[in-house]
Amino acid sequence: MASVTLENVKKVYPGGVEAVKGITLAIPDGSFTVLLGPSGCGKSTLLRMIAGLETVTDGVIRIGARIVNNIEPAERDIAMVFQNYALYPHMTVWDNMAYGLKNRGTPKPEIARRVTEAARLLELEPLLKRRPRQLSGGQRQRVAMGRAIVREPQAFLFDEPLSNLDAKLRAQTRIEIRRLHNRLKATSVFVTHDQVEAMTLADLVVVMNQGRIEQAGAPLDVYRFPATRFVATFIGSPAMNLLRGRIAGPGRVELEGGLLAFDATEFPVQSGREVEVGIRPEDLVITANGEEPGLSFSREFVEELGATRLVHGNAGSEPLSFTLAASAALPKETALRLTAPPGAVHLFDCDTGLSLRGNLGSET
């Protein structure tokens, strides 16, 4: 296996359209890295440049120690799994998995060993004589993964491989992919717009927006400490609440619906500064204590989600939502008071959207 390194990688299409805007990223050997972002953010283009299916306008891509910018895809020692499976319909599962090895002139005993081992890993042994049309979507995707595994490449690239599956199959296949990675310890780069896939699969999440990296880190770090307003609202379901506020003093922010405490050691922001305040719905709680900081909340409606409820309403004129366990009693009155722990209150710059955590919050 090998690491994948990107140094100021850019992709500019004819007409001056910048799809990827100078990305630098180190993907560790043996890691499972997820490129996450909305449609059109450049994540698939970046993956295709690593694979050699798109040319690099500027910058350097390394797989291991080797610069691969001008190396043909077949010579990069990578394997790619596409969302449409790309299986040969006239071939059996065995032949689909063995095809690439046959083309490389791999000895027959070695082909048999690799295909048999991959089929065992993916529980495809009963299906080896079937053709793709006789398989379910999930089974076809496993065959596509098996075809990649038998090549024993330095890196696996996945281009939204679960997007054609229904919700149940997507969840099952996601677990299979993670188990497979735990066994193979193979360097993997996975593209998705689905944050659940990113959070559950990744060692390293790379959140992209408009051709740039907004934040890269461990999934829970990205969730708990978003570096930008975009990351804060893109990661998390339900999405983080964002409210306009003004710093009222050390560790206090005034909002239209009231006052909240924040951790002034994490966000050393001067009084009087206008900010955007971020609070995740699960961090808001109902309080009857009128002496502690809190927000006046007017309930509009409730979504019943099974294990939890999502309560929607307004703090002043701004929309706000919070979660409540299904077993917890929902007060009959629609006017409530909400609060949040200081450590759960995030502050962002109103203009740039950058988190004001740490030195970013200091005025110059």
Task: Give tens-digit pLDDT for 89-147.
Answer: 999 999 999 998 998 899 999 999 999 999 998 889 999 999 999 998 888 988 999 99
pLDDT score recorded for residue 358: 84
Q: Is domain 238-361 classified as CATH 1.10.150.120? A: no
114: which 2 tokens? 């690799």
Mean pLDDT of the chain: 92
pLDDT confidence band for 361 (50 / 70 / 90): very low
pLDDT score recorded for residue 364: 29
Residue 296: CA count within 13 A, CB half-sphere: 7
Please give the average per-residue pLDDT across 197-218, as a whole number: 96
pLDDT score recorded for residue 359: 52
Instruction: Please report, rounded to a whole number, the percentage of residues in the chain having pLDDT higher than 70.
Output: 98
pLDDT score recorded for residue 1: 73
Domain positions in the chain are: 4-226, 238-361
pLDDT score recorded for residue 8: 97
Please give the average per-residue pLDDT across 273-298, as a whole number: 93
pLDDT confidence band for 331 (50 / 70 / 90): confident
Whether the pLDDT of residue 288 is over 90: the answer is no
Q: Are 300 and 314 in contact (CB under 8 A)?
A: yes
Residue 162's SS3 state is coil
Whether the pLDDT of residue 243 is over 50: the answer is yes
Strand order in the sheet with 187-192: 78-81, 155-159, 187-192, 32-36, 204-209, 212-217
Task: Give tens-digit pLDDT for 28-79.
Answer: 999 999 999 999 999 999 999 999 999 999 999 999 999 999 999 989 999 9
Whether the pLDDT of residue 202 is over 70: the answer is yes
CATH code, 4-226: 3.40.50.300
Q: How far is CA 310 from the centre of its chain?
A: 23
